[in-house]
Each structure stands twice: as structure tokens, then as C-alpha cells.
Amino acid sequence: KEFMAPQKVDVVMIGASTGGPVAIQTVLKNLGPDFNKPVLITQHIDNMFNEYFASWLTTTTGMNCTIAQDGEILEKSHAYIAPDNRHLLIKEAAAPGKYQIVLDDSEPFHYFKPAVDKMFIECSKVLKEKAMAIILTGMGKDGAEGCAEIVKNGGWTIAQSEESCIVFG
């Protein structure tokens, strides 16, 4: 089905673990290369696979997907993937209505680095009701606390159905 983020959403965040690469690919492919929002992705993945993952997503979805760089300004129709061992966050940029990537080197959050919860929670503080989170297949509960925080701040959340997850819960 065609998906349009609500107009007031500025950034879409995706979090995933086990089974995530194919689920993320499916979401990005359905959003399409002309999706008018930036996308932040935290996927529990090995560092040696990150560059391949970004390239594979770009090739198979048509959306420009890169490993996030500290200080980058978010652009629409672009997906930014958390690098290994850094939390992917944002802050308001100098230009009005723009956001800038912050790669955070703080401790693991609930045993993960990068952590979906860290991205969801910290980004929702910046975005408030302009945040949308999509939580996909995985192990453990990384992302659950962040989804609750996004809803508390007036944002939007979507969760993958149990039937379509490789690992649910």
C-alpha cells in the first residue's frame, strides 16, 4: 500500500534488529525514491556489513541510503543509517526547519550501541509532534520505550505485525 507520512511529520525513524534488513528494504522500497521526508535508521548490525547494507538499500529501493556522518544536514528522500558503535541523534540546525545529525558516543543504551530507544527518545525531544517512528522485527525490547516517548510527545508510531516479523517481541 502507498504510505504518506502525516504532513506535520518532519523525520521518519526506523528501528530494527534480527530480520531487519529485509523489513527495512521493504519499507524504503514502498516509500520510494521521492519520499518527501528524511529517514533515520538504527539497525543492530555488524560494522563490517554497514557499508554493504547502505549500498544494497540504495540499489534495491531507489532511495539514497548512506552511513550517517556527524554534522550532516538532513535532506528529504535520503535515509541515514547509524554507524556501528554510535547512537544516531539529531539537533536543530542553524537553518530554520532543518535538522543536523549528531553521532553520540555515550554508553550503550539497554545494552545496545547504536540503540533504537536512544534514537527514538532523544530525537522525540527535538521533534516533538513532528516525529514518526517505525519499529520492525527484532529481539528484545529496544525501541519500545522510545515509541512510548514519541507518543507522549504527540508523535506517531507504527509497529510491524507479529505475523510478518522474523522475531517478534
Catalytic: which of 10, 17, 104, 117? Answer: 17
Residue 144 and residue 118 in contact, taking contact as beta carbons nearer than 8 Å: no
Helical (H) or strand (E) element with 39: strand 39-43
Active-site residue flag, 142: yes
Catalytic: which of 10, 77, 142, 161? Answer: 142
**Nearest-angstrom CA–CA distance, 153 and 2:** 26
Catalytic: which of 10, 34, 44, 78? Answer: 44
Maximum separation of any 2 CA atoms in the chain, in Å: 43
Active-site residue flag, 117: no
**Nearest-angstrom CA–CA distance, 72 and 94:** 12
Active-site residue flag, 17: yes
**Nearest-angstrom CA–CA distance, 152 and 103:** 24
Point out the residues that are catalytic: 17, 44, 142
